[in-house]
A and B are shown apart, each in its own frame.
Chain A
Amino acid sequence: MKAITANRLTDGRVIYRTLEGQWSVDITHAQHMNDNEAEAILPLAETEYAVAVGPYLIDIEADGPGGQKWRREGIRLGGPSTGSTRVLAVAQEIGAA
């Protein structure tokens, strides 16, 4: 299955296009489509540039990102796999000291 994802214009957050034609940060609200439906709806999503930047199709498997780009899309969905977590822990320690 496919879903449509993009980045939200105002703050860049990852969003998914819903069955109702809205955009949500919650991937569980994403519309799941077969390949033909997805190809038909993507041009519509591209006209929604006042909300969503750069919409594109992703593979969905077991309600989460799949296919060859599963890691990239997984990181988009869940945030950095490590990133700032340790440095933020240090900040909390300094703040608490």
Chain B
Amino acid sequence: MYRYTEQDQTLVAERIDEFRDQVARRIDGRLTEEQFKPLRLMNGVYLQLHAYMLRVAIPYGTLNSEQLKVLGGISRKYDRGYGHFTTRQNLQYNWPSLTDIPDILEELAAVEMHAIQTSGNCIRNTTADPFAGASADELEDGRPWAEIIRQWSTLHPEFTFLPRKFKIAVNGASADRAGIRVHDIGLQIVRNEAGETGFEVHVGGGQGRTPIIAKKIKSFLAPRDLLSYLTAILRVYNQHGRRDNLYKARIKILVQSLGADAFGAEVDEEWQTIREGELALPDAEIERIRAFFSTPSVEHPSPLPEAGGASFQAWLTQNRRAHKVDGLSSVVISLKPIGGTPGDATAEQMDIVALLTRQFGFDEVRVSPDQNLILPHVRNEDLHAVWKALVDAKLATANAGLATDIVACPGLDYCNLANARAIPVAQAISEHLETEGLSAAAGDVTIKISGCINACGHHHVAAIGVLGVDKRGEEFYQITLGGAFGVDAAVGQIVGKGLAGEDVPAAIGRVLQTYVEIRDDNERFIETLRRVGVSHFKESIYA
């Protein structure tokens, strides 16, 4: 994985010194909150319902064992012994004191981490396929490109005050596990007729109040042109984005109002003026960055273990993923224990996963947009030892990709923007589906919950989405069906009026029961839903 240069280290260190001074001036009253707020947000510090929240950037969701151990240690030393992994592959601490945050940032910097650009109207953490460099269906590892984008976009003076936040995702596999079609810019690595790899460029996707699937504006972009083309997109957006209206300020609204063709034409016009300039990526620089992202090799590949007991085999079936290298597997470490808080991990659990990462994982662990951890590279002969350690750490729930692998934002239990709680609803759904045997019976189903229309829980792109709303002090939950995150990205349809929170688990249970009864052989939930239509399930929800 990428390692900081002296320049990177200096940049981060200087930023911490600057923020330490800003915090001191806020505490002694030289700065008002109005003056301080934009400064703290630039360093990932929010003020939530009960406390400050610090969002730590995890570039393209990739960590080494030392970094994960430090993340756990910080949660133990400065927080309440746990952290929350997010849908954007970052980590949030829910309880840090403002006065401790400069010290936390020092500890992060010691392992090449920071919280820069995890908030504000700038280019946020570039996300990627959490199985990048490992998955069997991959054309090319997207992470070197995400790293190049990270370096280009960090403290970029022209793009620090955009009309709104800006999110870029990179995917190099045939399946889209990065959600490129619901990002401001989505980059899909493709091969052209000449056999060269480059990027298909999608623009103007997003969730939130106005969910929109991105439009493709370029079918093939040569790698050398990546930064000049991104710059051209950002310039058109910076120029024409709706700064006058917060709700219309994202690039998706601009692309929608201009039309994708007209938007693409403006980008092309700008691009031609800068294409041959300093932003053209030299081959040597591409190769330098690529060299940080190697895939391990195995000299004597072992087959998958056939013994180990029924629980181990069930975990292998559900949580193991095929690897591009013979003798290796990827494994999903579910952060969705039945009835647990989606995405939370304790300091002890982070310590144990860090140990497994070092001992069995070629020193790499990933954070997924599904709020799980992933060991991308594990030798097949080590799978049983990994599973045993995960069992001891209460991290061996065999539900990756199942209905109990629920995504949920922090909701009204933590978030200042939320209208309704998300975590308790996720916990109740998880317990209900497990008790009824529907998680295993229904197979591959995505359930995602957001506590407000900002959609941090990605409910729009779940097969079953749940949106919490507030009606005169009471929580209600709107159910959507038919959303998808990947290549077949789609926005779910609202089924009808909202339900009380206590009615949601049974309603979803009935939807899944209906699916189990009417599905054709091997038909996934989303496929049945598309075949029979959303209305077919309406009765199940409101029974």
- Among A53, A79, A82, residue most surrounded by chain B Cβ atoms (within 10 Å): A82
Tell me, rounded to whole Å, the shortest Cβ–Cβ distance linking A78 to chain B: 9
Given A53-B47, A83-B414, A88 and B348 contact (CB-CB distance below 8 Å): no
Q: Quick check: A90 and B80 within 8 Å, CB to CB?
A: no
Identify A87's interface contact among B49, B52, B344, B424, CB under 8 A: B344
Q: Is A29 an interface residue (CB 8 A)?
A: no
Known A-B contacts A9-B27, A75-B49; the reply to A69 vs B346 at CB < 8 A is no
List CB contacts (< 8 Å) of B403-457 with chain A.
412-414, 421, 423-424, 427
How far apart sit A73 and B98, CA to CA, in the bound complex (Å)? 22
Give min CB distance, B519 to chain A, whole Å: 32
Asked if A84 and B82 sit within 8 Å, CB to CB, the answer is yes
Instruction: Tell me, yes or no, whether A34 is within 8 Å of chain B by CB.
Output: no
| Chain A window 38-80, contacts with chain B (Cβ cutoff 8 Å), 1 for yes, 0 for no | 0000000000011001100000000000011111100110011
Name the B residues within 8 Å of A13 (CB-CB).
Answer: 50-51
Number of A-B residue pairs, CB cutoff 8 Å, is 114
Q: A14-B50, A88-B346 are in contact. Are A83 and B27 (CB under 8 A)?
A: no
Q: A12-B97, A71-B473 are in contact. Are A79 and B82 (CB under 8 A)?
A: no
Contacts of A36 in B (CB 8 A): none
Beyond A49-B29, A81-B424, A90-B346, whether A72 also contacts B412 by CB under 8 A is yes
Q: Is the CB of A94 within 8 A of B473?
A: no
B347 at the interface (CB under 8 A from A): yes
Give the distance in Å from the alpha carbon of A31 to the alpha carbon of B47 in the complex.
Answer: 24
Interfacial residues of chain B within 337-375, with CB under 8 A of chain A in the complex: 337, 339-341, 344-349, 352
Query: In the complex, which of the residues A54, A71, A91 has the most CB atoms of chain B within 10 Å of its own CB atom?
Result: A91
- The digit string for B2-34, where 1 denotes a CB below 8 A from any CB of A, is 000000000000000000000000111100110
Q: Does B299 contact A (CB under 8 A)?
A: no
A11 close to B52 (CB less than 8 A): yes
Given A12-B97, A82-B341, A82-B424, A91–B51 Cβ distance below 8 Å?
A: no
Of the residues B47, B98, B339, B349, contact of A94 by C-beta under 8 Å: B349
Q: How far is the CB of B218 from chain A (nearest CB, A)?
A: 44
CB distance from A52 to the nearest CB of B (A): 9
**A94 close to B348 (CB less than 8 A):** yes
Answer yes or no: B99 CB below 8 A from chain A CBs. Answer: yes
Give the chain B neighbours of A95 by CB distance below 8 A. 348
B472 at interface by CB-CB < 8 Å:
yes
Give Cα A82–Cα B26 distance, bound, in whole angstroms.
32
> Are B413 and A80 in contact, with the CB atoms below 8 A?
yes
Given contacts A69-B473, A81-B421, contact A86 B341 (CB under 8 A): yes
- B306 contacts A by Cβ under 8 Å: no
Are B394 and A94 in contact (CB-based, < 8 A)?
Answer: yes
A7 at the interface (CB under 8 A from B): yes
- Please classify how large the interface on chain A is, using the bins under 10, 10 to 19, 20 to 34, 35 or more: 20 to 34
CB distance from B98 to the nearest CB of A (A): 6
Nearest-Cβ distance from residue A33 to partner chain B, whole angstroms: 21
Given contacts A68-B472, A76-B50, contact A91 B82 (CB under 8 A): yes
| Residue on A nearest B341 in the bound complex, by CB | A87
Q: Provide the residues of chain A in CB contact with B47, threshold 8 Å.
A: 7, 12, 53-54
Contact A82 B427 (CB under 8 A): yes
Within the complex, what minimum Cβ distance (angstroms) separates B337 from chain A? 7
Q: Return chain A residues, CB-CB under 8 Å to B33.
A: 9, 49, 53-54
Residue of A nearest to B419 (CB): A72
Residues in B with CB closer than 8 Å to A71 are 412, 473, 475
Contacts of B414 in A (CB 8 A): 80, 83
Bound-state Cα–Cα, A95 to B346, Å: 11
Known: A11-B97, A49-B33. A70 touches B347 (CB 8 A): no
A49 near B472: Cβ-Cβ < 8 Å: no
Question: Which chain A residue lies CB-closest to B348?
Answer: A94
Q: Report the bound CA distance from A50 to B414 in whole Å.
A: 24
Closest Cβ of chain B to A15, distance in Å, is 11
CB neighbours (8 Å) of B313 from chain A are none
Chain A contacts of B50 at CB under 8 A?
Answer: 7, 12-14, 75-76, 79-80
A50 to B33, CA, bound (A): 9
A71–B421 Cα gap in the complex (Å)? 10
Hey, which chain B residues are within 8 Å of A54, CB to CB?
33, 47
30 contacts between A and B (CB under 8 A): A7-B47, A9-B98, A10-B27, A10-B98, A11-B51, A11-B52, A11-B97, A12-B48, A12-B51, A12-B52, A14-B50, A50-B29, A69-B473, A71-B475, A76-B49, A76-B50, A80-B50, A81-B413, A82-B341, A83-B94, A83-B341, A86-B337, A86-B339, A86-B340, A87-B340, A88-B81, A90-B340, A91-B346, A94-B346, A94-B394
What are the nearest 8 A-B pairs in CB distance? A80-B413, A11-B97, A91-B346, A68-B473, A12-B51, A50-B29, A12-B52, A87-B344
Given A7-B51, A10-B27, 10 more pairs with CB closer than 8 A: A7-B47, A50-B28, A50-B29, A71-B412, A80-B414, A82-B427, A86-B339, A86-B340, A86-B427, A90-B346
Hey, which bits of chain B sit against chain A, CB under 8 A? 26-29, 32-33, 47-52, 80-82, 94, 97-99, 337, 339-341, 344-349, 352, 392-394, 412-414, 421, 423-424, 427, 472-473, 475
